[in-house]
A and B are shown apart, each in its own frame.
Chain A
Amino acid sequence: MSRRVVRWILALAPRSFQDRYGDELLSTLEARSSGPRGLRSGLREVAGAAWLVIRLHLRREHRLSEAGGARGAWIAAAWQDGRYAVRMLRRNAGFSTAVIAVLALGIGATSAIFSAANAYLFRPLPFADPERLVTVFETNPEFGWVDQTAAPANLLDWREQVEAFADVSGYTEFTDELAALREGQPVIVTGTEVLGNFFSTLGVPAALGRTFRMEETWLGEDDVVVLSHDLWVDHFGADPDVIGRRFEFANHAPEIVGVMPPGFTFPDRDIQLWYPMGFDPAAATDLSFRRAHWVRAFARLESDVSHAEADAQLQVVVRRLQEEYPATNAVMGAGIMPMRDFLTQDARTSLGILLGAGAFLLLLACTNVANLLLVRASERAREVTLRCVLGASRPRMVRQMLIESAVLAAVGGVVGLALGWLAVRAVSATAPMGIDGATSVSLDWRVALFTLGAAALSGLVCGTAPALRAGRDGTDGLLSDGARGSTAGRAGLRAAAALVSVQVALAVLLVVGAGLMARTFWLLQRVDPGFRTDGVLAVQFALQAPRYGSRDDVLGFYDRFAEALEARPGVERVGTVARLPLDGRSWSSQFIAEGWPPDRVGIEILHRRADPAYFEALDIPLLSGRMFEPGDRLGPQPLGASPGRGVVLVNETFAREYFPGEDPIGRRITYDRAPGPRSIWYEIIGIVGDQQQESLARPALPEVFENRDQDWGRNNWIVVRGAGDAADLIEPVRSVLGELDPLIPIARIRPLETVRTESMVGERSILLLLSAFGLAALLLATVGIYGVTSRAARRRTQEIGIRMALGARGKDVERLMLARGLAAVAVGLAAGLAASLIATRALSSLLYGVEPTDPVTLGAVVALLGSVAWLACWVPVRRATTADPLAALRSE
């Protein structure tokens, strides 16, 4: 890992060195780092490389300066200043370390956030002509859909009829965990369904073999599959003759037609294989082909077509489809947006916030360094004056100070880069996703450039004020006075007080942001999702055809598994459900109830299938009516057949929203908006408690539970409740599965508590980063306040001594001094609060249960910062007032 950092640093070495030694150096570095190396040796290599580059440049400058000439003289002077600066900074190791640490913190945080922003927001997608790729989404004002997946029939019509689209393709946003055998062992491979023109529309060719053809989208064509580079390596040992062979997984053994290049895993970073959607040509005219919206569509624009033109053409086709297919398309709209914007839209808000917070932190770090440099400048006023008297010119003195801060900034920049590189790994592990398969976060040359720019700017900003002061002090020439009591000294104190105010204000902003996220997180954790999570393990396994081809094979296996597992000690209940709550995936549809007026329809209701044990395992109460019973095993019936056979449970919200003041039990519903003789009707037999489906921050939506035994399916989760810890259930689950069928691989297994925690991962990563920023801000502000107050106290030691000698009480003097220090803090607090009232609005979409202007959070932040500031003021003041008055008087 350190190798890459060293490589970047080496790129900064003089060209002559790189040409002669660069290659061998890297070869040695690689040889050394191939063994087991710790973090310490990695850091040592980084530091060694940074030192190498700095020394080489110094050596070269030195040689140039000896070459002579006007330029030579200038370089000679700069060289001298540089050496002098390094000497001064080394002599004040504590001060230098503080400045470098502060700068590195600001630069590291900012460059990490910038890396993430760069990866998600600015870097082009890794496809051919990515700016011509657009996501095509469907809209439906009635259902509140704004960027919905497309119905396959609509997608194919766009492809035919919109001339501005060179091609339209699509993929599913769901991944499948599939069972396969590798050397006789069951393994899980992750795949996804795509249209035949998926790869050609993206413009990414296969590395080996070919990609799909459009006609392979349909059933009846040859069964084909494309492998990812990683799967090809893992499963086939990178055998180049793999093309044409069969790959057995799940239900079939398709022919391998191609292998993708390394790194290509779109649309999800876990994807290992792609297979065609397999649309049934016989069903292409079915209502469902135009009613179910499940394909994420995208198009490639013709090269001479603008987005506006393409959209206009699309709208014409949309209107045509509305007239042609009123049953499904009456209110369906469609639109396009650049593909990258679509893929990054979820990440944009949080990245924007973090980018802002990072910038504030960098600003805070710069102010802090400026403050430290100011303090130093006044302490060095004598030295400066002396040098001026001895003949140093003003510009030379200014340059001297600037070079010192430049050296500090350079070192801070290098250390910051290393820090940023560490932080990037943290960010990329938690960043909000959606664009996984298309790009990844890494520290690249743009970030390195940004970091160096930030460092240079910091050096300039931080160096200027003290440098100008150094120049001015030079003309005073009052050696006897030094800095103390001079007007310049007082001006310096005022400037320092102003900087303290700025620091406190910035710290308030950052800590308020962190505080609001902390409140959100805390409130989310206390939300009762409507089901128990402790002691529950969720497991999903892939049942492989042909052995599990029929309904009885599949359900029979689930029943045998549940029975065997429940017989184990420590296992209480084993249930089946199609999807876990809070897992973020759900299907929705519309429905109508028997006896409703023709224009009434229920929209966006969620579906799941479950068995009675699911509700028992998760402690979900049956509020009224009855549970599914073995007699409900028969398939759902058309209307007119013996009633009560097709049965469903509904949740509380469903009952409240669609049957207010009525008893929904016994009512019948269907998912067809215009029911016909073939429509399936379900009788509502019971009401169960609400469970939150999508996230803890969203209340439960209306939901219908189908009977697992009626509407059976192959993909289910098994939920296992035990008497103790959920982790203790993993072993029994594995052993029972192994006994029943050792060839079934476990696709996913995790405690339900983890599912719940993972549903908050977005909030948590922002909270963590903002907290880190807030903490750093608090620390920086404290250091700043302490530095300024202690300096003021030192400057006033004599004054204090006189006051005390004249009879002032320590307490009064203390109060006077404190008031002066805290005035600057109070100004900062007020400014920070005012600014945060505006700035935290950006956070509001991420907050839950708390307003951006939450008085409790704001109050807590003011109290926290106020007390920390008070402490930072009080300690140096106390020290000054408790000093021996005589010693204080004598002090110069």
Chain B
Amino acid sequence: MVTPLTYEILLALADAPRHGYGIIKEIEVRAGADSAPSTGALYLALQRMESEGLIEESRRRPAASEDRRRRYWSITARGRETAKAESERLAALVAAARRKDLLAGDMA
């Protein structure tokens, strides 16, 4: 089991390497501006995830038009496995919820 923020970050990085701001934009677009973590919380999570081997720094460098200070982060094989396991766990939970008529969208 991983924290919701860890899962959000893994999800954001699943398709492409992103920098910190990119991760936040991705979360904002997907889940709304209120769901994005504070910048401090994001980097606290990034530091932990890097030390746990879930993400690593990508070789991609910021484009000339971008802020030079940016770093791109990409998901590791271990991170991808973790995200998969968590997704399956969540999917199982959702399936269980559906069976018990807890998912409004299914009523029709």
Contact = CB atoms under 8 A, between A and B. Distances in A.
A53 B41 CA distance: 10
Contacts of B46: 21
Interface in B23-77: 24, 37-44, 46-47, 67, 69-71
B69 A45 contact: no
Contact of B67 (A21, A31, A53, A56): A31
B38 A17 contact: no
Contact of B39 (A23, A48, A55): A48
A31 B22 CA distance: 10
B40 A24 contact: no
Contacts of B70: 24, 27-28
Contact of A23 (B21, B24, B41, B69): B69
Contacts of A77: none
A53 B47 CA distance: 12
Given A21-B46, A21-B47, A27 B69 contact: yes
Nearest to B62: A27
Contacts of A20: 47
A588 to B, nearest CB: 59
Contacts of B37: 48
Contacts of B19: 24, 27-28
A34 to B, nearest CB: 10
A28 B21 contact: yes
A47 interface: yes
Contact of A51 (B21, B44, B67, B69): B44
Contacts of B24: 28, 32
Contacts of B43: 21, 24-25, 28, 52
Interface residues of A, number: 25
A53 B20 CA distance: 18
B21 A49 contact: no
Given A23-B69, A48-B37, A28 B42 contact: yes
Interface string B1-31: 0000000000000000001110010000000
Given A49-B38, A49-B39, A27 B67 contact: yes
A45 B20 CA distance: 15
A334 interface: no
A162 interface: no
A2 to B, nearest CB: 10
A103 interface: no
A29 B69 contact: no
B4 to A, nearest CB: 16
Given A52-B44, A56-B44, A44 B69 contact: no
Contact of B38 (A23, A44, A55): A44
A50 interface: yes
Which of B21, B37, B40, B47 is the most central at the interface, judged by chain A CB atoms within 10 Å of its CB?
B40
B20 A28 contact: yes
A45 B24 CA distance: 13
A44 B70 CA distance: 22
- 8 nearest A-B pairs in the assembled complex, by CB-CB distance: A48-B38, A48-B40, A52-B40, A28-B20, A23-B69, A49-B40, A27-B69, A28-B21
Interface of B: 19-21, 24, 37-44, 46-47, 67, 69-71
29 contacts: A21-B46, A23-B69, A24-B19, A24-B20, A24-B70, A24-B71, A25-B20, A27-B67, A28-B21, A28-B24, A28-B43, A28-B70, A32-B21, A32-B24, A45-B38, A47-B38, A47-B40, A48-B37, A48-B40, A49-B39, A49-B40, A50-B40, A51-B40, A51-B44, A52-B40, A52-B43, A52-B44, A55-B44, A56-B47
